[in-house]
Amino acid sequence: MQGWPAATRGQVIGLLGGSFDPAHTGHVHITRAALRRFGLDRVWWLVSPGNPLKATGPAPLDARMAQAAAVMRHPRVAITDIEARLGTRITAQTLQALQDRYPGVRFVWLMGADNLVQFHRWNDWRWIMDNVPVGILARPGDRLPARVSRAARIYKSARLPASASRALGRQEAPAWCFVDLPLNDMSSSDIRARGAWRKRDRAKIVRPVDRTVGMVND
Ligand SMILES: Nc1ncnc2c1ncn2[C@@H]1O[C@H](COP(=O)(O)OP(=O)(O)OP(=O)(O)O)[C@@H](O)[C@H]1O
Ligand SMILES: O=C(O)c1ccc[n+]([C@@H]2O[C@H](COP(=O)([O-])O)[C@@H](O)[C@H]2O)c1
């Protein structure tokens, strides 16, 4: 979307950061689950200029934004290039900038279980835990490793049971919650490995690379 998404005081906004290189049904699936399970008013996708821990850069931002907008169509979900606008790619900095820009709005950081496994390698990851509630969504292969990850162990006492997940956005940080959900095994790296993304003229792709997307969005 162009410009800054609207939000009003007291709203709970889930932030799903990602390379989205390309976006796929797994992203759609967890976004819809997050809206429901974490009681969110909105979800904003933060299409990243580039993951600070990945050596190789993603496809051009415009192409990833267009693909993401084609895949994720939902009245309560906005596809944004907020990090490019802010000039940030480190999540802690992005969150701090958003808190400054949207006073009174409650943000929840969303991520798949694979990211919890290596969360302790992120820049200022403890700042994130201490300042923003975190919602974790199950991902094939990563449910168990996530639960025993370093971040999960260190912040064990801040874990909210899944039965209380809808309260996550109203909790004071540190608070995190892991929810199980029907698994979706899509991944961007698989799509890239199949040549279904990078080998095309990415700037022109505006339709979903995965035909099941229509069903998921219905
Ligand atoms: N199938 C999935 N199930 C659960 N979470 C997912 C799934 N796909 C992506 N995610 C989560 O969505 C966020 C953005 O993911 P990202 O854009 O990196 O896609 P990806 O498929 O993980 O890409 P790659 O394969 O290149 O690592 C991350 O928090 C990731 O954990
Ligand atoms: O801030 C960090 O150090 C950091 C390290 C790794 C990943 N992230 C963010 O995590 C999100 C998921 O990244 P990715 O590449 O797995 O889609 C995306 O918003 C990244 O910017 C952030």
What's the pLDDT at 206? 46
Give the model's pLDDT for residue 197: 82
Q: Please state the separation of Cα 112 from the chain's center in Å.
A: 7
Residue whose CB lies within 8 A of the most ligand 2 atoms, among 21, 24, 51, for a mutation test: 51
Does the beta carbon of 114 lie inside 6 Å of ligand 1? Answer: yes
Domain boundaries, the chain: 12-202
Ligand nearest the Cα of residue 113 is 1
Distance 108 CA to ligand 1 centre (A): 17
pLDDT confidence of residue 213: 36
Q: In what helix (H) or strand (E) does residue 92 lie, and over which residues does it extend?
A: helix 91-101
ipTM value greater than 0.90: yes
Cα gap 62→55, rounded to integer Å: 20
CA of 134 to the centre of ligand 2 (A): 14
pTM of the model: 0.93
Contact 173, 156 (CB under 8 A): no
Supply 53's token pair. 């821990």
- Does 94 sit in the ligand 1 pocket, CB within 6 Å? no
- The burial of 76, by beta-carbon neighbours within 10 Å (0-12 exposed, 13-18 middle, 19 or more buried), is given as middle
Q: What is the chain's pLDDT, residue by residue, as a tens digit (218 residues)?
A: 767 999 999 999 999 999 999 999 999 999 999 999 999 999 999 999 999 998 889 999 999 999 999 999 999 999 999 999 999 999 999 999 999 999 999 999 999 999 999 999 999 999 999 999 999 999 998 878 888 899 999 999 999 999 999 999 999 999 999 999 999 999 999 999 988 786 553 544 444 444 333 333 32
Output the residue whose Cα is nearest ligand 1's atom 15. 18
Pocket test for ligand 1, best of 139, 143, 192, 198 (most atoms within 8 A of CB): 139
Going from the Cα of 120 to the center of ligand 2, the distance in angstroms, rounded, reads: 12
Which CATH superfamily is 12-202 part of? HUPs (3.40.50.620)
CA 11 to ligand 2 center in whole angstroms: 24
Q: Are strands 176-179 and 134-137 parallel, antiparallel or unpaired?
A: parallel
Q: 148 with 123: CB under 8 angstroms?
A: no
> What confidence score (pLDDT) does residue 71 get?
96
Could you tell me which of 57, 52, 53 has the C-alpha nearest to residue 21? 57
